[in-house]
Amino acid sequence: MSLYYDALNELSVVFDRIEDAPVDAAVESIATARRTALYGVGREGLQIKGFAMRLFHLGLQASVVGDMTTPPLGAGDLLITSAGPGHFGTVSALMARASGDGAHTLCVTAQPDGQSARQADQVLVIPAQTMADDSGPATSVLPMGSLYEGSQYVLFECMILKLQERLGISPDDMRRNHTNLE
């Protein structure tokens, strides 16, 4: 049983260290974007997809990069990427393309000095272990980058709550946007 509490305590430490101002700024960027596309790789990509789904439930124009229905991005649009360890070549390439076409870029990362974060217009730091720093004496009880990915899930759901309030979206409004094809 203590293993569960060890993991929860580690998540708690992450959220004790998260700064509210960048979270609120990210929420505002999402709230004011015309369209939002999201991208992440691996397990980070799974969290990004869950976030995109929730943005869709809010009634926002949100899509996942790589899906056939992802629209082109330009002025007034937002690209949200995840690069927990600081850099992924695909993240940097997509940010360069979106930025070059006039879109705003937001990078979620644990490494604010990483190449992908330095390239972004806006950075949201989740101070959690990723695979970039998963060895040594101060490692998480969770494997590899799981602390970061679990933190993403909790943070993204809290951001949805903030967006729900900011946009005046009710739980019933969100339910109406949930698929009926399950």
User: Which whole number is the average pLDDT over 160-182?
Assistant: 95
- The reported pTM is 0.95
The radius of gyration of the chain from alpha carbons, rounded to an integer in Å, stands at 16
pLDDT of residue 167: 98
40, pLDDT greater than 90: yes
pLDDT tens-digit map of 115-149: 999 999 999 999 998 988 777 667 888 888 899 99
pLDDT of residue 139: 82
What strands lie across the sheet with 104-109, from one edge to the other?
Answer: 62-64, 36-39, 78-82, 104-109, 122-125
107, pLDDT greater than 70: yes
The one-character DSSP state at 140 is -
> CA dist 157 to 20, 100, 101, 139, 152, Å?
15, 30, 29, 25, 8
